[in-house]
Amino acid sequence: MEVTVALTDHLAHLSRLHFSDVEKVEIRKDLEKMVAFVETLSQLNTDGIEPLMHMGQAVNMLRSDEIEGSISEEQALQNAPGTHTSFFQVPKVIRK
């Protein structure tokens, strides 16, 4: 697969990124290296090799959920600079 200038521009547009002409040349070179690597991998003979689903034999080793004591609502809010009922009150960061 050839990585063209048009493809590089299209990928930049899709990802909403803007690059200088120098950056585009470097990105194109990097993409060509990646595509060449994947093409090399696709030539490997994988007959008889099971697909790898997990890196290890252990699957879904999750801890059990345990309810533990925590601080009370009062304690959580006591050092807050501003509160409203049972919520932290913070300055607005988004304006209409």
How much is the pLDDT for 34? 96
CB contact at 8 A, 18 and 12: yes
> Which pLDDT band holds residue 7 (cuts at 50, 70, 90)?
very high
Q: How many domains does the chain have?
A: 1
Q: What is the pTM of this model?
A: 0.51
How much is the pLDDT for 15? 95
How much is the pLDDT for 96? 76
Which two three-digit tokens encode residue 83? 């509160």
> Which pLDDT band holds residue 32 (cuts at 50, 70, 90)?
very high
Assess if residue 66 is contained within a domain.
no
Dump pLDDT digits (tens) for 15-26: 999 999 999 999
The set of residues, in sequence order, having a beta carbon less than 8 Å from that of 82 and lying 6+ positions away, is 88, 89, 90
Q: What is the 3-state secondary structure (H, E, C) of the chain?
A: CCCCHHHHHHHHHHCCCCCCHHHHHHHHHHHHHHHHHHHHHHCCCCCCCCCCCCCCCCCCCCCCCCCCCCCCHHHHHCCCCCEECCEECCCCCCCC
CB contact at 8 A, 27 and 19: yes
Assess if residue 52 is contained within a domain.
no
Dump pLDDT digits (tens) for 35-81: 999 999 999 998 998 888 777 777 777 888 888 888 999 999 999 99
Assess if residue 53 is contained within a domain.
no
59 compared with 92, residue with greater pLDDT: 92
Assess if residue 24 is contained within a domain.
yes
How much is the pLDDT for 39? 94
Assess if residue 19 is contained within a domain.
yes
